[in-house]
Amino acid sequence: MIIERIQLHLIELPLAHPFETSFGRELTRLCILVSMQSQGATGWGESAAFGGPWYSYETIDTNWHVMEDYLAPMLLGEDIRSPGDVVARFRPVRGHPMARSAMENAAWDLLATADSLPLVTMLPGSVRDRVPVGVSVGIEETVPELLEVVSGFVSEGYRRLKLKIKPGWDIVPVRAVRERWPDYLLQVDANSAYSLDDIETLRALDEFELLLIEQPLHHDDIVDHALLQQQIETAICLDESIHSPMHARWALDLGACRNVNIKVGRVGGLSAAIEIHDLCLARGVPVWCGGMLETNVGRAANVALATLPTFTLPGDISASARYYKEDIAEPNFELNGDSTISLPDGPGLGVTVDVRRLEALRLRHLELC
């Protein structure tokens, strides 16, 4: 199909609850949504970039620039018959995976919607119609406040907890949660806040029988993570260090991790995410799907990806209400009683963007044709 029109929509949504990590505290979520039209059908994609270069060098502004000036012109007027056609056209572009992901995923949705098929039917080897999920818990002011927040999520039915940690907020809060919920699946995420100088602190986490410790060291590191994994019992999971399938292969070859967090936006789109999944499947390495405070547009893509077979660890997808009181697309994702999220059964991503709400929330808009 010929790509006739691409639109960029910048919106800002208030989070249901403040979310703090080792690199900052979020109260709202700036978000770029991409809509792509052809022959009366529309596909949607979402950029995972934040307002500032904290998680990644990519930002809302760099994504907007790259999509407007480079990526959209590579697709407009082109005959796109598969997601692979998008990947091929974007091959000259170095970096900017979140911008590429938003565009590529919109094409996935467009192609599936045009054929009136759920997007998941385009994924090779999907094995489930609901995916295991947990919840990511940000840094709180005090341990009692943390326990109160965690208690709420436990009451909602989440069976896996992920605690954000940083130097000075690690052993004490993790111990408090583990003592309160001794049988819960528990993991931690450092967002690159530590170095090898913190080996004693990181080794001390072994006593809590964690599923994994996510990205303890530098955001681009693989080598030091391999050294650290040799010195601690807890499985290391890499997140920020895995920018592509090649990075995933390097990490596994060096023994830098025992698990991989696959984030669609971070690796450049569904095609790269599937390639990393297949590599890990061949190596017997469990993976899970991380979250980036997505709206239901991005969350729908995450749920579809997590239906693949080696996504055996609970992901950070979570219910829509965990993030936003009112999302931009419907239906909302709800937590099932077995701590899973069900795959929507509509065409494409399975969610419908509320265009009126989108226009009311829109801070910037660009139409390219």
The count of other CB atoms within 10 Å of the CB of residue 230 is: 8
Catalytic residue from among 162, 166, 263, 325: 263
CA angle 280, 196, 311 (to 5 degrees): 20
Q: Which residue has the tokens 């696959």?
A: 262
- Active site includes 166? no
Between helices 97-114 and 83-90, what is the axis angle to 10°? 150
- Rounded to 5 degrees, what are φ and ψ at 81? -110, -10
Contact partners, residue 72, CB within 8 Å, separation at least 6? 6, 8, 103, 368
Between helices 270-283 and 97-114, what is the axis angle to 10°? 100
CA gap 353, 108 in Å, rounded: 16
Structure tokens given for 362 = 């829109």
CA gap 73, 180 in Å, rounded: 54
CA quadruple 229, 234, 238, 241: dihedral sign:
negative
Catalytic residue from among 162, 164, 166, 325: 164
CA gap 63, 294 in Å, rounded: 16
Spacing of C-alpha 42 from chain mean position = 23
Contact partners, residue 110, CB within 8 Å, separation at least 6? 1, 36, 37, 38, 41, 42, 43, 80, 348
Q: Which positions are annotated as active-site residues?
A: 164, 263
